Amino acid sequence: MHRICVFTGSNNGTRDEYAASARILGHELAARDIGLVYGGGDVGLMGIIADAALAAQGEVFGVIPNALMDRELGHAGVTKLYIVDSMHTRKARMAELSDGFIALPGGFGTLEELFEVITWAQLEFHSKPVGLLNVGGFYDHLLEFLSHVKTEGFVKKRHHDILMVDQSPGDLIDRMTARALILRE
- For 19-76, write each residue's pLDDT tens digit: 999 999 999 999 999 999 999 999 999 999 999 999 999 999 999 999 888 676 888 8
pLDDT for 72 equals: 61
Q: Which domains does the chain have, with CATH numbers?
A: 3-184 (3.40.50.450)
- For 84-107, write each residue's pLDDT tens digit: 999 999 999 999 999 999 999 999
Please say whether the dihedral angle defined by the alpha carbons of residues 106, 107, 109 and 115, taken in this order, is positive or negative.
Answer: positive
With H, G, I as helix, E, B as strand and everything else as coil, classify residue 129. coil
Average pLDDT over residues 105-119: 96
Mean pLDDT of the chain: 94
The pTM assigned to this predicted structure is 0.95
b/e per residue 72-85 (b: at least 16 CB within 10 A): bbbbeebeebbebe
pLDDT for 140 equals: 98
Q: Determine contact, residues 113/142, Cβ cutoff 8 Å.
A: no
